[in-house]
């Protein structure tokens, strides 16, 4: 039997192979949950790609508890992720932007070890115009006795075991961390696998790009307006896609700062702490950046409500410092 041909350059390092090859014990323990999320993401990617061919666009005609028009794909994505996680024997509880309350699958005494919190489809209002959208996930230990399993999501972001996103963009990219650096995979539609393309992704220390919806500038606090005056005078570029996953992905790869600040109308900000702020903050910090909520570090906030909001200032550490110095 001749050894495999070393000249074959084909990248066939799949997510599963990479997770199983890591010495980090957590990779082995979490591999089932992460692979279940990756499976759901492949199915969501397929549905996003067929939007307008299949009748999956537009609103379902109902509002979610945030009073936001629920898009059909929000609900489809939520169902797919829950379906894939139900198959896992170690998932205790599933919490989602699209579910008013956490879904308890099994308590700790029945093997329920992990709590998975997701934004099933982030930026979903953009899917009708074929702009990038994504799925954001956060994995925590189920730290609760059986009778209060539904409380497991209410832990500070520093307790996350893993966090990541899947970006349904010009390619389907999965980026996640298990606390020892950030790895990036791209879905190869031919083999149907996420293939490892980068290990130990690092964000640049500084980059003159800011990403904020300036339409709301009149509702920004004085400090945020002062920061924008500074940026306008210091030769900054501006990029804003309007899908957090796309804006954060660009910030991770190119540097800069992504901001969704508190406003007079939304003093707590718009983005949700548990399934937008915390997972993205863990990723950015693991890549060497910073993630602030104005008053301090996003990951240090102890949540009291499942869907509570947080201001978000995250990206290159020097850029976050420029914002917090003014704000």
Total chain residues near ligand AHG (CB under 6 A): 13
Q: Is 122 in the site for ligand AHG (CB under 6 A)?
A: yes
Contact of 321 with 285, CB cutoff 8 Å:
no
Work out which of 78, 122, 193, 319 binds Mn ion, going by CB under 5 A. 122
**8-state DSSP, 4:** P
Q: Within positions 84 to 103, which residues make up the interface with Mn ion, using CB under 5 A?
A: 97
Question: Could you tell me the two tokens for 79?
Answer: 């169902």
Q: Within positions 194 to 213, which residues make up the interface with ligand AHG, using CB under 6 A?
A: 213
Q: Which stretch binds Mn ion (CB under 5 A): 117-125, 187-195, 199-207, 253-261?
A: 117-125
Work out which of 102, 107, 112, 123 binds ligand AHG, going by CB under 6 A. 123
CB nearer Mn ion, residue 97 or residue 319: 97
What is the C-alpha radius of gyration for the chain, rounded to an integer number of angstroms? Answer: 20
Q: Which stretch binds ligand AHG (CB under 6 A): 14-22, 117-125, 147-155, 167-175?
A: 117-125
| Contacts of 293-300 spanning 24+ positions with Cβ under 8 A | 293/269, 294/261, 294/262, 294/324, 294/327, 298/157, 298/273, 299/156, 299/157, 299/158, 299/160, 300/156, 300/157, 300/158
Contact of 87 with 3, CB cutoff 8 Å:
no
Work out which of 138, 160, 243, 251 binds ligand AHG, going by CB under 6 A. 243
Q: Is 256 in the site for ligand AHG (CB under 6 A)?
A: no
Residues, the chain: 327
Site string for ligand AHG, 275-314 (x = CB under 6 A): ----------------------------------------
Cα 139 to Cα 123: distance, rounded to the nearest angstrom? 21
- Across the beta sheet with 209-211, the strand order is 237-238, 209-211, 257-260, 312-315, 290-292
User: Which listed option, ligand AHG, Mn ion, none, makes contact with residue 242 (CB within 5 to 8 Å by class)?
Assistant: ligand AHG
Q: Is 119 in the site for Mn ion (CB under 5 A)?
A: yes
Question: Could you tell me the two tokens for 226?
Answer: 């002062």
Q: Which residues bind ligand AHG (CB under 6 A)?
A: 68, 97, 119, 122-125, 213, 242-244, 260, 270
Q: Which residues bind Mn ion (CB under 5 A)?
A: 97, 119, 121-122
């Amino acid at each position: 039997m001749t050894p495999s041909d070393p000249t074959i350059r084909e990248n066939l390092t799949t997510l599963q192979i990479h997770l199983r090859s890591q010495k980090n014990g957590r990779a082995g323990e979490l591999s089932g949950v992460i692979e279940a999320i990756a499976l759901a993401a492949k199915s969501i990617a397929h549905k996003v790609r067929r939007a307008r061919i299949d009748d999956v666009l537009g609103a379902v005609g109902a509002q979610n508890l945030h009073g936001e028009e629920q898009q059909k794909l929000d609900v489809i994505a939520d169902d797919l992720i829950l379906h894939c996680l139900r198959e896992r024997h170690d998932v205790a509880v599933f919490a989602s932007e699209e579910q008013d309350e956490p879904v308890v699958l099994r308590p700790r005494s029945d093997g329920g070890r992990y709590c998975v919190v997701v934004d099933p489809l982030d930026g979903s209002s953009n899917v009708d115009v074929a702009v990038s959208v994504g799925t954001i996930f956060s994995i925590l230990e189920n730290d609760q006795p059986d009778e209060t399993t539904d409380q497991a999501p209410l832990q500070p972001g520093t307790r996350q075991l893993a966090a990541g996103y899947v970006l349904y963009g010009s390619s389907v990219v999965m980026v996640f961390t298990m606390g020892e650096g950030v790895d990036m995979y791209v879905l190869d539609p031919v083999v149907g696998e996420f293939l490892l393309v980068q290990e130990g992704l690092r964000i640049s220390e500084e980059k003159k790009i800011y990403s904020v919806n300036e339409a709301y500038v009149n509702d920004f606090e004085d400090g945020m307006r002062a920061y924008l005056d500074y940026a306008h005078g210091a030769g900054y570029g501006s990029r804003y896609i309007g899908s957090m996953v796309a804006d954060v992905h660009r910030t991770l790869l190119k540097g800069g700062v992504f901001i969704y600040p508190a406003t007079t109308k939304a003093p707590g900000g718009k983005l949700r702490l548990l399934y937008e702020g915390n997972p993205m903050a863990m990723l950015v910090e693991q890549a060497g950046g910073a993630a602030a909520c104005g008053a301090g570090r996003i990951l240090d906030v102890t949540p009291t409500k499942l869907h509570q909001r947080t201001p978000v200032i995250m990206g290159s550490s020097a850029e976050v410092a420029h914002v917090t110095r003014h704000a």
